[in-house]
Amino acid sequence: MKVLMISKACVVGAYQKKLEEIAQHDDVELTVVVPPEWQDERGTLRLERVHTTGYDLRIEPIAFNGHFHLHYYPTLGRVMREVGPDVVHIDEEPYNLATFRAMRAARRLDARTVVFTWQNLPRRYPPPFRWMESYVLARTDALLTGNAEGVDVWRAKGYTGPVEVIPQFGVDPGIYHRITRPSRPSKPSVLLRRSTRRPSQSEMVIGYIGRLVPEKGIDILLEAVAQLRGPWELRILGSGPERDRLEKMAQWLGILPRVAFDLPIPSTQMPYYYSGLDVLVLPSRTRPNWKEQFGRVLIEAMACQSVVVGARCGAIPEVIGDAGLTFAEGDPADLRAQLQRLLGDAHLRLELAQKGRQRVLDQFTQSQLAARTVEIYKGLG
C-alpha cells in the first residue's frame, strides 16, 4: 500500500519518529511531503532532519507560508502523479486551502483519503473556507481528530463517515525519558533573560514550554507563583508576542530574579530540558476562537517524569487523566493551591511522576499511534 502524507508539522524532528514507525509496517510504502520551513508567531521553524529512515521525505515549496488557512503546495499534483498513492493522508484542517487542493488531486487519482483535525470548537467559517470544508467532509474516506470533543464538532457539522480519536503525534519513550545527569534544565543556546542567582537543590523547578501568546495563560502562572510559599524557581521556554509583557509583569510582581526566560531550543534537546523540571504547567485559557486541543508538552513532560499541572481547558483533563493535577481555568489562586500541594509533598510529586510516565507508555507512544493510523489505512478498502 502506497501512502502519501502531507504534513507541515513534520518539519519538527521529534515528530518524524511517528513516520519511521508507520514505515516499519511491511505493507506500507510511505512518502511524506514537508515544506523547507514553516512560519508562525514564534518565528521560522526550519526543517529538522532527525528521524528519516524507512520512508521518502519530499521537501516541496509552499505558497503563502505562515498563512494557516491559505498555504498550499504548488507541486503537490506532480508529486502525487509520481508516487501514485493508494492512500493520501492530509495532515491539515478540513477548511484549509492545502487540504482542499490535496483532496482534489487525490480524487483525480482515485486515491483514498484521510484528513486530520484538531478542531474542538463548532466554528463556522465564511466563504470560501466554509465551501472548502464542505467539499472535504463530503469526500474524505476517514477523519482523524486529536481529541474527543472533535467527534461531536464534526458530527454536528454533518460529517457521517468514519472518525477516530488519534492524537497527531505521540512520544518515543526511548527518547523522552528522565535524564538524571543534569540537575537543572540544560542550558539553551540563547537566553533572553536568566536569573543570576544559583538555585539550591531543594527548590522546586516549575516550567512552562510553548508559545508566548495570551491564550496560553502564562500571566496566570506568574500570578500564581508570585505568592507561592517556599523555595521555587520558574523557567519559561518559548517565544511569541507576549514575551516583553510577561518579562515586565515578572518584574513588577517582584519575582524576576526567580524567573528565567529561555528561547526555543532544537526538539532533540527537549528531553534534557524536561528532565530539569520538577513540574510543568499548562495554564491555557479558552478564547472565542480557540481552546486547548491537546497540549503535546503534557505527554512529553510526563514521559520525562515531570509532574504536570493543567487548566481545565479543552482537552487538557482528557490528556492528563489521573496522572497529574488540574485547576480551574483562569484561576491563579487555584493554580497556586495545586503548586503549593506539590511544593510541600515530595511523595505526591514522585507518585504523579511515575503515573505520568506509565500513562504515556499505555496510551501515547509513537508506535501505538502509528499502528492505529495504519489500521485506519487498511480499513479504507
The helix/strand/coil state of 279 is strand
Please give the mean pLDDT across all residues of the chain: 94
List Cα–Cα distances, 27 to 23, 58, 115, in angstroms: 9, 20, 21
CA–CA gap between residue 281 and residue 263 (Å, rounded): 17
pLDDT score, position 159: 96
pLDDT in tens, 268-321: 899 999 999 999 999 999 999 999 999 999 999 999 999 999 999 999 999 999
pLDDT in tens, 145-174: 999 999 999 999 999 999 999 999 999 999
Q: What number is the average pLDDT over the span 101-120?
A: 97
Please classify residue 205 by burial: count the beta carbons closer than 10 Å to its beta carbon, then call 0-12 exposed, 13-18 middle and 19+ buried.
Answer: buried
Q: Which domains does the chain have, with CATH numbers?
A: 2-170+365-378 (3.40.50.2000), 191-363 (3.40.50.2000)
Three cell numbers, residue 130: 466554509
Q: What number is the average pLDDT over the span 30-54?
A: 94
198: left (phi over 0), alpha (psi -120 to 50) or beta: beta
pLDDT score, position 315: 97
Q: CB of 171 within 8 A of CB of 303?
A: yes
Crossing angle for the helix pair 366-378 and 16-23, to the nearest 10 degrees:
50
Residue 381 banded pLDDT, cuts 50, 70, 90: confident
How many distinct helices (H) and strands (E) make up the chain?
Answer: 13, 16
What single letter denotes the amino acid at residue 244? D
Q: pTM of this prediction?
A: 0.91
Strand partners, 205: 233
